[in-house]
Structure 1
Amino acid sequence: MRPLRALCATSLTTILLVTVAASPAAVAKKQDLSAATPNLSFPLIMTDTVQKFYQQIYVDDLDGVVEPSDWVLGYDSDGDGVVDTTDGTLGVLVPIAVTEDIGNQYTGTYPEGDPVCSYTVDPVTGEAVDINTENADGSVTLGVPDGVINDADLTCVALTELAPWYPQPRDTTTTDPNLIWNTDYVSNYRNSWQADWTNLALAEAPEVVEIAFIDWGNPLENISPTVGQRFPVEVTLHAKVADWADGALTDTSMTGYRMGCLEYGSSQTELFGTSQMDTGSFTYESAFATVLTTKFRAEVQPPTGPSYSIALEPGIGPSGKMNFASAGGGWIPTMPGLHRITFYVEDPLITFEGALVNNDEHYVMTTGALAQTLSTNKEGLSWVQGDVTWIDVDVVAPSGGGKGRR
């Protein structure tokens, strides 16, 4: 079954306030600037309802403060496309309507932006092609295959050659969760789009989602955390939703948006944007989707002492891909040494059977092909067994008593 298209034809909802004495601040209006929610750029499968994607109702708890927790899922009881009750037995969920509005161009200078890299792909098999040789000194001999597909076989194009770019929104002027993707409430890069997504929690007979690969965040793979300092923990589950056959993806593919990192990659201020990349379209058909569930837990086993839980939550990263990410700013290790971070999925609709631990850039998203596995220095740091995955990280003392992995 082809996943439901995320774009909706319904108009923006009227917000219902369930309250004894509604605070005027609760009503949707322009307020102080705050960080905008990125547009969903990569396809998504959720096995539980992610509240962010559906119309919500404000329920005043009479504490005088409007907080995200005051908003709950709303339901449409009369079929008019507007939520009017918080009782799920009386109505249906209504997705937030997202209109593609891509017109605010990037005008910056690409400080520390990343080139867009891709594999050469065999049009018949869909597999990545070995085109270059990586020499022992790290140099690359172009046009001479060496029998190994690695980063030397990537073709990279400068961001300037793929302009114009249209960035993710940076600032929003509303705290209303029903307006997070409405460009009328964005003050910096007023662009909106949304990749395909589907909610298996609403399906009558959902099939089990097989995870193809698990991607631990780049910081965990490349940087040693420091005692007492917040560190981002991220893990992303990817399912293969379409296969390559007869020179094309099967019709179960899901639509994503072409993305590039325009500024300060892998930093807290990184900025991503979309571009047609000389293809005539902002979108492409993807063989993969990320997978989210609420039935999970994460814990850390320190070098000594008992293990302890860490808070992760579903979130949309700057690129527009959803994953499980640190809540509250990150994990704060309390001692140096080797720590094991373990992620447990306890959802009967998800299986890790056959899954690999790998990086998303090692796949051809448009065909589903696996191009590379983890590098030698990263193998053995992360594993998957049953419906559990873990990664070992070396925490260093504040004085820098160790070096980050490279």
Structure 2
Amino acid sequence: MTPAAPLALYIHWPFCVAKCPYCDFNSHVREEVDQEAWRDALLRDLAHEAALLPGRTLGSIFFGGGTPSLMPPATIAALIDAAAGHWRFDEAIEISMEANPNSAEAARFRQAADAGINRLSLGLQALDDAALRFLGRAHDLSEGLAALDAAQACVDRVSIDLIYARPGQSLADWDSELRRALGFGTDHLSLYQLTIEPGTRFETDVRRGAFTPADADHAADLFELTRAMTGAARRPAYEVSNHAAPGQESRHNLAYWRYADYAGIGPGAHGRRGGTATARHRKPENWMRAIERNGHGLVEERLLSPAEQAGEALMMGLRLADGVDLRAIAARTGLAPDALIDEAAVARLAGHGLVTRAGDRLATTPAGMLLLDGILAEIVAV
């Protein structure tokens, strides 16, 4: 019997100093946070999931948010120590934390590293002060670069986030900005096109004509430039928006995209536990009341059908440059390999250079990544 892949653990810290206008994540602004109560509640939520996933090896922990770099280092350490008590740690365990570049937070990077964080994901978002103001960021460029220096001094693995396809951003603008970013020496970059998400302030701004988003053709040109430049810099795309030197891919995110089990705790966190989908209460106060009432923050546990699991595995895996192993998905779900995909659609799309098929390996080409949602709708048969 093939041993289970290492488990991943996601810990959600929902609080931010301010809500960014493009953000649709589960983040909340609160004047005060009872830090001791939150630490204890997260530990209880963690213990509940661990009891349902005994005997596993933990391959990664990811502190996300919100702004988890606002967490007290003692809380970070307590959660890492508790996880080590619940599961065996893989010898190469990755323990990541999302962080903002504000100087107050950067000063705590060393404390976070001492607590056990060995990878920082730094939300620079732009290398231009005007763009940072447009994006509603609380830091300026000099503060961001100082935070990057601080992060690289504290941990060996640092990833930076940038948002491109901003209004008015030309190919030359992005070429210059990305070239500078590639010179920072980080082995991982998450490069996201600006998308206007429902319910955000940017959606309201676009609706009232405050700005016009980049059109699809220009966004596609920027995407292709991004792929070419990161590939030439030996930071090729291994997923739609993520680029890394070989061996420096995010192990935690690979667990999602390869459809491994992951436990999610904290407000709004999702998980996949042996074919069961889990979700926590989103609103912090509702999650906290659920912890007090039930000892966990769950709002939903739903057993997924084999077809649902296969569909999720395909939709996640085809985001990766190396694609999916159809036979492995079939073995996991009990479905026949030829029942997973529409073979005629695959053949047609392969003829257009949008997907490749080599035996049981199905992958999306770089050209296909631009049309991924449409491709998935055509080829996923479950």
TM-score bracket, shorter-length normalisation: under 0.3
- Which structure has more relative contact order (CA 8 Å, sep 6+)? It is 1
Bigger strand share: 1
TM normalised by structure 1 equals 0.23
TM normalised by structure 2 equals 0.24
Bigger helix share: 2
